[in-house]
Amino acid sequence: MRDIKQQVSYGKYWENKCKEQLNQLNTFGQLDLTDSYDDFENFDMFNDNYYIEHKQRKITGTRYPTLVFDYVKWRRFLELKKDNTSLRFFVIWTCTDDRYIWEMKESKWNNEVYVNRWEQQDRGKGYLQDTDVCNVPVQYITKFKDFNLESV
């Protein structure tokens, strides 16, 4: 079983690091962290226009055929999007070789993303549980350095 405090600390460190770097680039404007009231937020950063989920990975971005994020984040995206259709949502994976990005859009469901179940995983809560994850094939994911917000 993983050390929950160590895992949360690791994730928070990289969320902060990513936010600082994104704010320096100003790609999305100035972002705030969403962790002010809940360690298990659905998205890590936000502002009036964007929500960003950041995943830090100890793999290269193309080691596996897909990169993943929790399905609960897709469900939350749908809820927030219903309330404000102008919001945009992104997943950013920082891997050992590069940083990658993918935009969540309802039109991508079943085209660029699919769900499967990871059984008996410690998903940061300190106990084993089954978790639904969204898989995004790497051919649909863009290297961040090649990303253009206006062309997505």
More confident of the two residues 143 and 7? 143
What's the chain's average pLDDT? Answer: 88
For 30-41, b where at least 16 C-beta lie within 10 A, e where not — what string? ebebbbeeeeeb
CA angle 103, 14, 116 (to 5 degrees): 50
Q: Strand pairing of 66-70 and 128-137? A: antiparallel
Dig out the tokens for 38 from the structure: 């809940």
Please give the distance of CA 49 from its chain centroid, rounded to a whole number. Answer: 16
pLDDT at 129: 78
| Residues 116-152 pLDDT 10s | 888 766 656 666 778 899 999 999 999 999 999 987 7
Per residue in 61-115, pLDDT (tens digit) is: 999 999 999 999 999 999 999 999 999 999 999 999 999 999 999 999 888 899 9
